Amino acid sequence: MDLQLDDRLAVVTGASKGIGLAVTRALVAEGARVVAGARDGSAELSELAEGGRVYPVAVDLSIPSGPAQLIDAAREHGAVEVLVNNVGAVTTRLDGFLAVPDEDWLSSLNLTFLAAVRTTRAALPDMLAAGHGTIVNVSSVNAFLPDPAVIDYCAAKAALTNFSKALSQELGPKGIRVNSVSPGPVSTALWLGEKGVAATVAAAQGGDAAAVADAVVGQMVTGRFTTPEEVADLVVLLAGERAANVTGSDFMIDGGLVKTL
């Protein structure tokens, strides 16, 4: 399927690993050029850059000036036509709401929500001038599946999903589409790494990280975690012109974890 992304300039945030790296790789496979923003690089991203169609940019998107710096760097390669707001982070806390200070709330909101707002604000003039563009925001099932262990992350993702829907109403008549993707547990370091959710829960409960992961898998009708590549395929489909009349929508990819929507 030709998604009509040949030579389009895309910006992906949080692009050095996990879902962001998979999205970058998938966009390149569809012929796009990708400005890959991340605070830290990775060997995998550097390898992609050797192909000449990926331009890594080291940037801290948690600070107010970071998103504009990324988009300014992107404009060295042309006007931004596709934006994938993927950057985010989660900290699992098992001591309850009162153990989450303002600093942690602000950290979550800055990186997981406001980074997307600010990057969109910086990139939007290019799309408005061209009369077309696509924005895909990587949200989470936690936007509508609250979990007290990641209460600040849930709130930030809920804001991101709401932002996507509201912005789509303004920008649709101007030729710009805005959608969101809401993965469930994905086989990345966020869930399965040494400091990931499974390991954190296991350490608190005196159990085994693999057993925690297996318990989560047991709640999915497919019986497995989603892969980063599967999320990336959905993101890139929405970014391309084969989905030209899809806007204001949120797409779950959760292996059947959520049963009520």
Nearest Cα to Cα of residue 31 among 176, 227, 241, 244: 241
- What residues are labeled active site? 153
SS3 readout for 182-199: EECCECCHHHHCCCCHHH
Cα gap 37→66, rounded to integer Å: 10
**Contact at 8 Å (CB) between 186 and 18?**
yes
DSSP notation for the chain: ---S-TT-EEEEESTTSHHHHHHHHHHHHTT-EEEEEESS--HHHHHHHTTSSEEEEE--TTSTTHHHHHHHHHGGG----EEEE---------S-GGG--HHHHHHHIIIIIIHHHHHHHHHHHHHHHHT-EEEEEE--GGGTS--GGGHHHHHHHHHHHHHHHHHHHHHGGGTEEEEEEEE-SBSSHHHHSTTSHHHHHHHHHTS-HHHHHHHHHTTSTTSSPBPHHHHHHHHHHHHSGGGTT--S-EEEESTT-----
